[in-house]
Amino acid sequence: MQRIGKIFFSSRKFADTTKADRVREFLCARFGEKNVIANLEVPIGQGVEAFLENKVGEVAVMVVVMEYGWTPIDDYESSDWMAAEMAAALGKRTSVISILLDNMEFPSEDSLPDSLQSLDEELSVSVNAESWDKDIKILEAFVAKELALNFSRVKTDISGKGEMNPPPDDLSRSLDERHSGKELGLAGANMTDTRRAIEYYLEDLEFSEKLNDRHGQALALSNLGLAYAKMNETRRSIEYFKRRLILVREIGTFEELAETLASLGDAHAIMGDLEQAKKYFYEQAALAKEENDFQMEGLAFNGLGHVYIKLGEIEKGIDCYKECLKSSIERKDLNKQGELLTAIGLNYVKLNRYKEAVIVQERAIEIYKELGNSHEEGLGLSDLADSNAFIENFKAAISFGRQAIELLKEKYPDEVRRIQKLIATWEKR
């Protein structure tokens, strides 16, 4: 996985290397010498393309220095290392920032070989001797911004359209790994990485504000909200999401607005401010309905189901989960269907509506079996055994309990022991 802070510096061997060296030294001083890779040499016996691809895979951003008259050659045998390094980076979709020295113009499209056609002029910075201090600061902001964006692309997962909270109580059990769900926000990042990401996002926000780049501001605010959520600093997370909401109401797309409302709903639910969470989720649902976005509407009802369950309004919570279930069936999302059916079944049990619980639990088990998820199937069978015992169908409870034991014995010993004790009791009935 890429690490934030890694910068690949590339330049040609100038007759006068002073300016290129100054740029490299500045990057080392600002971002850390250990985080700047330069002056590569290919080990004997290793191919150029494979070597560069591996090295580029270690970095988040490439900075290339172009002097006046620079022309790339699309030929590894020509020893045009700079073109080869750039091609490897672009092939990996690594951000490539071009430094244009001394009033050089960005290369025209017809002057670039096929391997460099995706070079982005918007990621170019003019650096001139007479305005060095000002230009180098602009370069610094560009690099910081791309590092932040790269970290967001690599390590964040917003596939849940704003679902950044762990599963609610009614979607979980006492077992640690039961419905552990996705860790959204900055998936896989440790706390140190997240703190570093926050620094980059703050720089990104400052830079966007200076440029009056409102879309850049909105993205930085989203990243900050998610990062602080990852740090369990929910109040600060809400602060940044609220600032983003103001912006996306004016300039954002429907998706950006809906995702921000969802994030705020989740964050307020985590804080226990359930009435405010409800308002955000209902606004998300209304917006999605207006746009005929069935998936987004379903996600809003998923959040509302969680809120109503927390409020003790179980019937309303079940109804909301059923609305979300319709969406997941429409999208043929079996994992979500299994999760929702499990939640609905557990809440029917809370209402002592065991026969209804049995029906949805059986469907959940069918889905997990279809998915080949034996552990969830086993946990579903355990739930089904309990529900059958409640309606005094002990023969079925024993059968389902034994099936559950076979599927859970390796990973869930505590649950197995619980079921074994219950089976012993049920056999006496």
pLDDT tens string 15-30: 456 788 888 888 888 7
Q: Which of 3.40.50.2300, 1.10.357.10, 3.40.50.10140, 3.40.50.300 would CATH assign to domain 7-131?
A: 3.40.50.10140
**Average pLDDT for the chain:** 81
Tokens of 45: 């016996």
Task: Give, rounded to a whole angstrom, the gap between the first and last alpha carbons of the chain.
Answer: 56
Task: Using a cut of 0.75, tell me whether the model's pTM lies above it.
Answer: no
Burial class for 115, CB neighbours closer than 10 Å (0-12, 13-18, 19+): middle
Query: Per-residue confidence at 154, pLDDT binned at 50, 70, 90?
Result: very low
Tokens of 145: 């911004």
In sequence order, what are the residues at sequence separation of 6 or more whose Cβ sits closer than 8 angstroms to the Cβ of residue 247?
Answer: 214, 217, 218, 221
Tokens of 323: 């609305």
174 in Cβ contact with 132 (< 8 Å): no
Q: 10 Å Cβ neighbour count for 75?
A: 12
Question: Which percentage of the chain shows pLDDT scores above 70?
Answer: 80
Cα 220–Cα 221–Cα 224 angle in degrees, nearest 5: 85
C-alpha closest to that of 376 among 340, 351, 350: 340
Distance, C-alpha 401 to centroid of its chain: 37
CA-based max dimension of the chain? 93
pLDDT tens string 224-277: 998 898 888 999 999 999 999 999 999 989 999 999 999 999 999 999 999 999
- Taking each helix axis from N to C terminus, what angle separates 294-310 and 334-350, rounded to the nearest 10 degrees? 30
Spatial separation of the C-alpha atoms in residues 196 and 142, rounded to whole Å? 17
**Domain 156-309 falls under CATH 1.10.150.130:** no
5 in Cβ contact with 60 (< 8 Å): yes
Stated length of the chain: 429
Residue matched to tokens 């001394």: 102
**Intervals of CATH 1.25.40.10 along the chain:** 156-309
pLDDT tens string 354-373: 999 999 999 999 999 999 99
Cα 373–Cα 376–Cα 379 angle in degrees, nearest 5: 150
With 90 as the cut, is the pLDDT of residue 213 above it? no
Q: Residue 153: beta bridge partners?
A: none
Query: Per-residue confidence at 52, pLDDT binned at 50, 70, 90?
Result: low
State the pairing for strand pair 36-37/95-101.
unpaired
Distance, C-alpha 51 to centroid of its chain: 29
Q: 10 Å Cβ neighbour count for 410?
A: 11
With 60 as the cut, is the pLDDT of residue 162 above it? no
Element (H, E) at 126: strand 124-127
Tokens of 131: 């305005």
Query: Per-residue confidence at 390, pLDDT binned at 50, 70, 90?
Result: very high
pLDDT tens string 165-192: 333 344 333 222 322 222 223 454 566 6
Tokens of 397: 């409870």
DSSP string computed for 61-117: EEEEEE-TT------GGGT-HHHHHHHHHHHTT-EEEEEEETTPPPPPGGGS-GGGT
**Intervals of CATH 3.40.50.10140 along the chain:** 7-131
